[in-house]
Chain A
């Protein structure tokens, strides 16, 4: 069965510092992986996704993630944090369920705080 583990429910960085949010997945089939961001009082917005091909995926707002099959990881990074990056981030894996359709399995989320 597919699952997602996000290490660290809270991460705090200084403005301008590297952002690293960790995600490990479990999947019995080649995974499709996603990172979503949720700003306060808003829904989830897709940051980036990995399907097939290049393992380094670039997304919006300067974020990128690297799919590492050997480590079953899909960590999210950004070289330089901005105050506006403060939000909650969710990693998700796409799982194929009965009925022949896909569902998203989400991690518990990591809340990113950025301080001056």
Chain B
């Protein structure tokens, strides 16, 4: 595997379910990001991790819970989501949080029913 991978690629869940999104980067980077991409809206930065420490929480509701066990892996735990949370969730990485160039994964298409 190379670059940034995300699993699953597609996820359908009910509002009472609990699920997790996984991101893994194989680039030796130290910063990882979660973005939300909704239809007709700009990409929204959700969370930033730098050397496993969360450095940014962009006013994201608590039903989204990130976890970064090491610099290569990033999770987004989901629970009691709302239909408006349906979106493409993109993971990205960079050498460190100060780096301007980010590398993106293919995303997880989430549908909340």
A interface residue numbers (CB < 8 A to B): 4, 9, 32, 34, 36, 41-46, 49, 51, 90, 94, 97, 99-109
Contacts and interface: CB of A to CB of B under 8 A. Distances in A.
Interface of B: 4, 6, 9, 31, 40-43, 45, 48, 50, 55-56, 90, 92, 96-107, 109
B98 A94 contact: no
A97 to B, nearest CB: 8
Nearest to A4: B42
A94 B100 contact: yes
Contacts of B50: 101
Given A43-B107, A102-B99, A103-B56, 14 more contacts: A32-B100, A42-B106, A43-B4, A44-B92, A46-B103, A49-B100, A90-B43, A94-B100, A97-B56, A99-B97, A101-B96, A102-B100, A103-B48, A105-B42
